[in-house]
Structure 1
Amino acid sequence: MLVPQTRNIGLPMMNLMRFKGLPILQQLHIEEQLLRTSSENWCIVNDGTNDPTIVMGVSGKPAELLEIESVLHDQVPVIRRFTGGGTVIVDHQTIFVTFICNKETVPDLQPYPRPIMSWSSSLYCKVFRGIGDFHLRENDYVFGDHKFGGNAQSITKNKWIHHTSFLWDFDVRNMAYLKLPKRAPAYRSARGHLDFICRLKDYMPRSTFINKTVEAAGTQFSLRSLELEAVVTCSETEFRPSTRFLTNEELAAAAAAVSEQQLGLP
């Protein structure tokens, strides 16, 4: 579904692409390409992805974050993305929203992680106005003290990207693939996954959330809807993505290293 082009005089131009079920690896490749090669501003909304997939931050260590034996046994794909942030398992019940902006696009916004997080939370405050106890808590979007949105960022010389995975719903069984991270927000209080997260579907219809997010973006940007083909022509710069699947060999090696540590082997 595409929204009509909006020309709001005085607001910076932003290209909007909306997808349904775009594979998460393809989405991340598009985002990385736009961050590295495009001189324009972009918003990407992807309503769900395909098969369950684990997505790790650029510096994430599988042995510390994943139940690797279960991941390998069940053949769950694992992606290392190009941005920082934590680890999440995503599927058709996850909604993704991404903003890619030139540093000068948002007036008075300093291109650093905390100001960007603060800016994004102010935008989502418009989406969730009057719904639940929404706020930004550390780097998470929460209702009360339960997380439903995880964020990741990357900041380059001229641009920044802020993308969010919203838990519209989730399969309880999939959470068993993720370990309790060693570095966790203080408000988590060592709670397990199921005591820590909540479902967005309990607060708002899926289509309402997506439409309100686009409307909120339209209060800060002049939106222009584009199709996927626009990415191909946005730049002539050669691009090779760093985001990729981890191989079974890499995961098995990480699992073996854990076993050796547990056995006290050198």
Structure 2
Amino acid sequence: MAERLGRLVLAATPLGDSRDASPRLVEALTTADVVAAEDTRKTRALAAALGATPTGRVVSFYDAVETSRVGGLVAAVEQGQTVLLVTDAGMPSVSDPGFRLVAACVEKDLPVTCLPGPSAVTTALALSGLPCERFCFEGFAPRKDGERRRFFAALADEPRTTVFFESPHRIGATLAVAAEVLGPERRAAVCRELTKTYEEVRRGGLADLADWAADGVRGEITVVVAGAAPAAAPDLTVLVGRVRTRVAEGIRLKEAVAAVATDAGVSKKALYDAVVTEHNGA
């Protein structure tokens, strides 16, 4: 008789309102052999609110103990047990503990599945009013000023909408740096306390949002920033003139075209064709 293989179950938990819990989460909390929780007290409180009494072991699984607990949880799955992984809110492993455990199970070819549900990332994105066909998620913004500036500098030309998390006591400074690096008018949305009683979404330019947050903002915060506007296409007429100038200085046409095209970030062929067209039309 084949040995029964267990599985790892990642389960999204409500961001604030317990009514957002799925029936599958209620069942999993009740039936899992092991519940690995970022905060066991919060998980037990959620289970009580849902009328779900865990029958399996409830163990802590937060950042400081994640590495040391992975081996035991993988062993439990290998022994045929169902291990349920939950964090305080949202999806495990998305800026929360979980990645190492998932990777370890995948490496051993053990079953891993997911109970989908609430996510602060997609909830904030949907509420932001900003384009969300394509977006990138950057986790938490850096704490130190220099790293924070480099973080936003890397996003200066990012065309996709960007989502990141920030703490309430740093949000004012972070938005001020964002306004300085990305521009005061870059559109953004600050979403706090999503799905909770005092949910609030503030939308506007980065400078205005920085002023609003200067004295501090309470609650769990997710920030959404619009992508960079498409750069204006270079004027080929101007570039043709630059090519002509280089040719007059004795540089071969193809070399002149290649140099000017590279500097301007345009197609060498398109610029060469424009030069030839102007010459034939002269």
Pick the TM interval, shorter chain.
under 0.3
Whichever structure has more strand as a proportion of its residues is: 1
Whichever structure has more helix as a proportion of its residues is: 2
Larger-gyration structure (1/2): 2
Q: Which has the higher contact order (CA 8 A, sep 6+)?
A: 1
Q: TM-score, normalised by structure 1?
A: 0.25
Q: TM-score, normalised by structure 2?
A: 0.24
